[in-house]
Amino acid sequence: MRKTLATQDASTQARLFPADARADAPAGKNEESARRLLLFVDRRFTFAQRVFGWNLDAETRLGRVLLLRRQAFEAERAGAYRKADFLWVEAHRALKNAAGDPAVWRHALKISAFSPAITPEILRARFIQELFIDLHRSVFDSRRAATGLRNPSDRAFVHCAYIEGLVDLAGFDAAKSAETLRPMIDAWLTACRDAGQWKRAIRICRRLAGRFAPDNTYVDELVVCMLRMTIDRLTRPPGSFTISDARHIRDGIQSVEQVCDANGPTSLMLAALARLHAMQAVALGNTGDYAEALVEIAIAVDYGGDNSQVRRTRDALTTAMRDILRRASERHDTGRRGAGKPTFDAQAAKGFGPLTQYQLSDRCARIREMRRVAGVVPRVMT
């Protein structure tokens, strides 16, 4: 069996495999063994081995991974992105199969001469990180330097998605995954926000919120994206809100409430709900449904939206309802009925009843408890 040259290095912190495009990456004393390992397994394959992955042993399985990686990168550099994506997927599939077989990595150590500190697990993790994750990241960085990443559909973000899968395969913990992914993900979210592509941003935030739980960074980012998407759908200025706007706001409220139920309340989340309910109060007030608008503005206050604008809305709605009740009482005293508007009698019959029912309800108590648990709530969201 062919052996690579031995190197004496007990360190597992220095880089093992030769860098692709990161010439400034530190070279460890084990790098010569790693380089020889790559040259040894990078051999000729039969058609069936190369294309279908048939009749592969531990050594050629690793070699095929490297072959597909090289072909994918060459297609990437040539701008043949459809071909590159096909090859990247095939390379990652072959890598996943090899990563799940300890015999592959034991054999890789057997035919090389790394220091005793390099275990099969370390070799596998370094192989994935240094030959795949670092390569995708170098492509991402080169695209960022060339384009500025202003377009959410930039080719760079395809590599960001590839790295998301690879950090799991490498077995990174949450801290290392965050260190690897966040600079790229944040650039992607910035591009989505600038382009107003809220649905794409929401999908990204949902993935990252689950990945980095209980860290709420991307939960809050998810809520901000939901809020901004809702606002972008609305009529401007708020004084012109219609029943259509009320439906959009209701959808936004339901979306944020689902995030709150799934992840627990945060100060930003409650501030977003306060703002949405305040806008809903304006929209319902514009349609003449003052009874329900009063409930919405009370919910906004309970979520922490007790600012001057909310108080003005609450006072205006209260004054409007009192005026309806006064006119209804006057007509009752004079024996007249109706007010010429279909909604008048319905609003007079409801009065402050829905507001009182809300204030005595479990929902009101639950919202106030969420506010207490979440701590101080920002008064205004911009």
pLDDT tens column, 246-294 = 999 999 999 999 999 998 899 999 999 999 999 999 999 999 999 999 9
pLDDT category of residue 54 using cuts at 50, 70 and 90: low
Burial label, 47 (beta-carbon count in 10 A; 0-12, 13-18, 19+)? exposed
Q: Which two three-digit tokens encode residue 319?
A: 């004054």
Domain-ending residue, one of 142, 159, 191: 142
As for how many domains the chain has, the answer is: 2
The answer on 14 and 129 residing in a single domain is yes
Per the CB < 8 A criterion, the answer to whether 118 and 93 are in contact is no
| Average pLDDT over every residue of 356-372 | 93
DSSP 240: G
Range of the domain at 98: 1-142
Confidence of residue 199 (pLDDT cuts 50, 70, 90): very high
- Residues 132, 246, single domain; the answer is no
The whole model's pTM is what? 0.78
| Shared domain check, 97 and 239 | no
Q: How confident is the model at residue 252, as a pLDDT? A: 96
168 within domain boundaries: no
Residue 295 lies in a domain: yes
Q: What angle do CA 32, 34, 39 make, to 5 degrees?
A: 95
- Of 117, 142, 167, the last residue of a domain is 142
Examine the domain organization and report whether 26 and 125 are in the same domain. yes
The Cα 260–Cα 281 span in angstroms is 21
Question: Is the Cβ–Cβ distance between 277 and 299 less than 8 Å?
Answer: yes
pLDDT of residue 85: 96
Q: What angle do CA 370, 247, 207 make, to 5 degrees?
A: 55
For residues 242 and 365, state if they share a domain: yes
- Looking at the structure, do residues 117 and 243 belong to the same domain, yes or no? no
In a domain, 186, yes or no: no
Provide the pLDDT for residue 6. Answer: 35
Short-list 74, 63, 79, CA closest to 20: 74
How many angstroms separate the CA atoms of 63 and 69, rounded? 10
Handedness of CA 374, 375, 379, 380 (dihedral sign): negative
The pLDDT, as a whole number, for residue 247 is: 95
On whether the CB atoms of residues 220 and 242 are closer than 8 A, the answer is no
* β-bridge partners, 15: 27
Residue 360 has pLDDT above 90, yes or no: yes
Residues 126 and 270 placed together within one structural domain of the fold: no
Asked if the structure places residue 156 within a domain, the reply is no
Residue after which a domain boundary falls, among 124, 142, 160: 142
CB–CB of 8/29 below 8 Å?
yes
The per-residue pLDDT for 268 is: 93
Q: Quick one: 123 and 267 in the same domain?
A: no
Q: 268 in a domain, yes or no?
A: yes
On the question of pLDDT at 11 being above 50, the answer is no
Residue 27, SS3 per DSSP: strand
Same domain (yes/no): 362, 259: yes
CA distance 296 to 239: 16
The answer to whether residue 71 is domain-embedded is yes
Tokens of 96: 């996943």
Residue 359 lies in a domain: yes
Longest Cα pair distance anywhere in the chain, in angstroms? 109
Confidence check: pLDDT of 116 > 80: no
CB 244 within 8 A of CB 350: no
Where would I find the beta strands (DSSP E) of the chain?
A: none
Residue 24: pLDDT above 90? Answer: no
The rounded distance, in Å, linking the Cα atoms of 207 and 323 is: 50
Do 114 and 248 belong to one domain?
no
Residue 205 lies in a domain: no
